Structure 1
């Protein structure tokens, strides 16, 4: 199948990249045997704009996308986070290719009002919309063209290729990486943990409290040197919602502490993720697993195995394709609504 994948591909970061769920989807489609062409809206807009001023290249980027669709003649168009691309351009692609199927993917949280607006807008033109929050919260988008689906945060064996669960002598006991401050008070929680755990273990907070953020290869190295990780989201309690951090930690074999209110216990097997109710409960759990390294390694290994066998990029990509085209599922995907 011929696939046109529209998403920001970080071309102008020149290696200093964030781990990208869109890149994993791209890889997964290729691993499933599809011919995939990528279109990076932000990069094309900058390349086509006078003096490289991206905002001046929006119109040209939409024109170039339509040209690419005409040249490629895709069977499936996957639309990720690409705000530069207008619905009108997607409608033009559909008029040009009446048989084409269009899937929308959104990996951002629903507690951000502007993101809700973006999903609503895309649901008017795509055939299927995939969102990283659980099924229940997606009912607000019903009544438009798009059928609605949950999609998990996948791992990819080429990206999450380390295994901290298989190592004992690691220099970092606990890690938290983030420099996002909007729509959240989680930095206060991290600060409380730093204060309480001071002197007990090595706790690195890259991007916060004076520690520089890490990107690209530096981020990979930091995860590979860490035993346990905090999966703190900007807001908690959204069904099956997590930032992509959960896959980055779990896929690399770190033990994950995550809030119980997201309901991941109905998705993940027992003795994988570690669920906390409040900060004092979390402190006790951190100390418990820090003192019992065999237990830490066993739970982390089970989490890593589950991610790589049941939530990998190949399965995720095939699920998106099958759901959009309305064909029978080729695998009993663990995140399907029961």
Structure 2
């Protein structure tokens, strides 16, 4: 029998955590879930599949280290005997390895967390999710709604989970900072990877929006990392947020139900007034007095200009948004929800986002 999830569990977290990034990714999703499970009273062990593969061969080749990395995960599971295995984007780990772990630990539950947008059938992320549908017990995607139905019908119950906020990571309170203490009006971080290109110009669509806004709002102080300034990671990223009073939440996909990149958690969680496209439907979870919603680029430009000129309103809305997102998406709360959904147990509270598993397409 499984231990009750209200008691202490053993959680094996599999993904790129504490690896070659050397602290550059301390604000990423998997690190936050590690903290959330621990705060909920669970014993957590981390298995970094990429590092295991890289250092399994003399050439430090992930490709040739794939087999020993999978063997190492089986050995880790045998030694640790987890109740829950929580997978990230660990494509090195094969489904046959998960099957072997189930043979050794028949009561184990396995969940897979996917944080990338779901484009369509021709994109790699669709394949990554589909690959796990018959091998894990639950899939958690940062997209919600109809887009998930294509993955339902297999072994896995397919759920939505928001991007987490961690009170030990999103520690800034930019809403409490006066305008003269902040040299940047609008911040956007583009890391230069996984671009979504405009078919006409070939430019990343997010960079294109930021560029047009800069050209249009000449008196607004922008800092666009990856355009005029080099990309930043680690504490330098948080330092850039600490110089800013507003943030552009531009994701690769702006119209999927309740999907956002984790920028929204970083920005709003740190008290930046955060601009969010209404097409995301986050208006179902946040009020107009908590996030700066917009319908199109014209309204976005108008709202940026207005909030630049009305700093008391900026601080008031940003403060309400910070408090709301910390309450809604606290990582301990999300870790509890993930555990309850994976074990098929009644929810201990009324979570505000859609919690029912996706129904298969008919």
Which bin holds the TM-score, normalised by the shorter protein?
Answer: over 0.9
Q: Would the aligned equivalents of 2:143 and 2:259 in 1 still touch at CA under 8 Å?
A: yes
Whether 1:174 and 2:182 are equivalent positions in the alignment is no
Aligned-pair distance for 1:16? Answer: 2.7
Aligned-pair distance for 1:182? Answer: 2.2
Aligned-pair distance for 1:10? Answer: 4.5
Secondary structure of the residue aligned to 2:65 is: helix
Tell me the equivalent position of 2:225: 206
Whether 1:261 and 2:276 are equivalent positions in the alignment is no
Tell me the equivalent position of 1:47: 55
Q: Distance in 2 between matches of 1:51 and 1:181?
A: 27
Which of 90, 112, 119 is the matching residue for 2:129?
119
Measured on the aligned residues, the alpha-carbon RMSD in Å equals 1.3
Please list the CA deviations of residues 181-206 of structure 1 after superposition, one character each: whole Å capped at 9, or x if unmatched: 522422211110111122x1210001
Please list the CA deviations of residues 15-71 of structure 1 after superposition, one character each: whole Å capped at 9, or x if unmatched: 233631111111100000000101111111112122222222111110000000000
Whether 1:234 and 2:252 are equivalent positions in the alignment is yes
Q: Would the aligned equivalents of 1:3 and 1:35 in 2 still touch at CA under 8 Å?
A: yes
Which of 35, 38, 46 is the matching residue for 1:38?
46
TM-score (norm 1): 0.96
Q: Would the aligned equivalents of 1:229 and 1:254 in 2 still touch at CA under 8 Å?
A: yes
Q: Distance in 1 between matches of 2:162 and 2:153?
A: 23
Relative to structure 1, the CA distance from residue 11 to residue 88 in structure 2 (aligned partners, 3 Å threshold; closer, same or farther) is same
Tell me the equivalent position of 2:196: 183
Q: Would the aligned equivalents of 2:144 and 2:354 in 1 still touch at CA under 8 Å?
A: no
Q: Would the aligned equivalents of 1:18 and 1:215 in 2 still touch at CA under 8 Å?
A: no
Aligned-pair distance for 1:273? Answer: 1.3
- The structure with the largest helix share of the pair is 1
Tell me the equivalent position of 2:80: 72
Please list the CA deviations of residues 254-287 of structure 1 after superposition, one character each: whole Å capped at 9, or x if unmatched: 0011111111101223411111111111110001
Q: Distance in 2 between matches of 1:267 and 1:337?
A: 13
Whether 1:301 and 2:311 are equivalent positions in the alignment is no
Tell me the equivalent position of 1:194: 214
Within-5 A mapping of 1:1-338: 1-17=9-25, 19-111=27-119, 113-168=123-178, 169-178=181-190, 179-180=192-193, 182-184=195-197, 185-198=205-218, 200-209=219-228, 211-337=229-355
Secondary structure of the residue aligned to 1:50 is: coil
Secondary structure of the residue aligned to 2:274 is: strand
Aligned-pair distance for 1:331? Answer: 2.1
Q: Would the aligned equivalents of 1:186 and 1:233 in 2 still touch at CA under 8 Å?
A: yes
Q: Distance in 2 between matches of 1:167 and 1:129?
A: 40
Q: Distance in 2 between matches of 1:131 and 1:282?
A: 27
Relative to structure 1, the CA distance from residue 18 to residue 230 in structure 2 (aligned partners, 3 Å threshold; closer, same or farther) is farther
Q: Would the aligned equivalents of 1:69 and 1:93 in 2 still touch at CA under 8 Å?
A: yes
Q: Would the aligned equivalents of 1:135 and 1:149 in 2 still touch at CA under 8 Å?
A: no
Q: Distance in 1 between matches of 2:99 and 2:185?
A: 51
Q: Would the aligned equivalents of 2:279 and 2:295 in 1 still touch at CA under 8 Å?
A: yes
Q: Would the aligned equivalents of 2:214 and 2:220 in 1 still touch at CA under 8 Å?
A: no
Q: Distance in 2 between matches of 1:9 and 1:47?
A: 15
Structure 2 portions without partners, runs of 5+ = 1-8, 198-204, 357-362
Aligned-pair distance for 1:13? Answer: 1.9
